[in-house]
């Protein structure tokens, strides 16, 4: 099985397949709520939007391929997958199920930048 998706940074490239069964996108709001002392009131500051995140379930060929992906955590780079090409930071990874036909499923969370 060959991989068709990747995450590339200045220090390396991790190759994988993004699986459709574990895909999630999130967009939060940047809001601050401050309680006013000695009153029942609050001040709410609306700060726009937080950074968008993408959580993916990936298939990697081997433990070595997972190690390569894991080494890129915290780095900014280019995520290339079926839904497009994005500038992103790999926030975290976690290993998962070893598959009978080879490789393993892993989880990765990216924060979209720009």
pLDDT for 53-105, tens place per residue?
Answer: 999 999 999 989 999 999 999 999 999 988 889 999 999 999 888 888 888 99
Cα–Cα distance for residue pair 109/74, rounded to 1 Å: 11
Cα–Cα distance for residue pair 103/97, rounded to 1 Å: 9
- Answer yes or no: is pLDDT of 23 > 60: yes
Query: pTM (2 decimals)?
Result: 0.78
CATH match for 5-112 among 2.40.160, 3.30.930, 2.40.30, 2.30.30:
2.40.30
């Amino acid at each position: 099985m060959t991989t068709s998706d990747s995450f590339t940074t200045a220090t390396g490239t991790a190759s994988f397949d993004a699986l459709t069964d574990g895909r999630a996108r999130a967009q939060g709001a940047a809001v601050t709520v401050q309680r006013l002392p000695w009153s029942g009131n609050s001040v709410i500051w609306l700060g726009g939007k937080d950074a968008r995140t993408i959580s993916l379930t990936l298939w990697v060929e081997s433990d070595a391929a997972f190690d390569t992906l894991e080494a890129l955590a915290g780095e900014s780079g280019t995520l290339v997958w079926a839904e497009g090409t994005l500038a992103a930071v790999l926030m975290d990874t976690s290993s998962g199920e070893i598959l009978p036909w080879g490789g393993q499923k892993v989880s990765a969370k990216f924060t979209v930048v720009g």
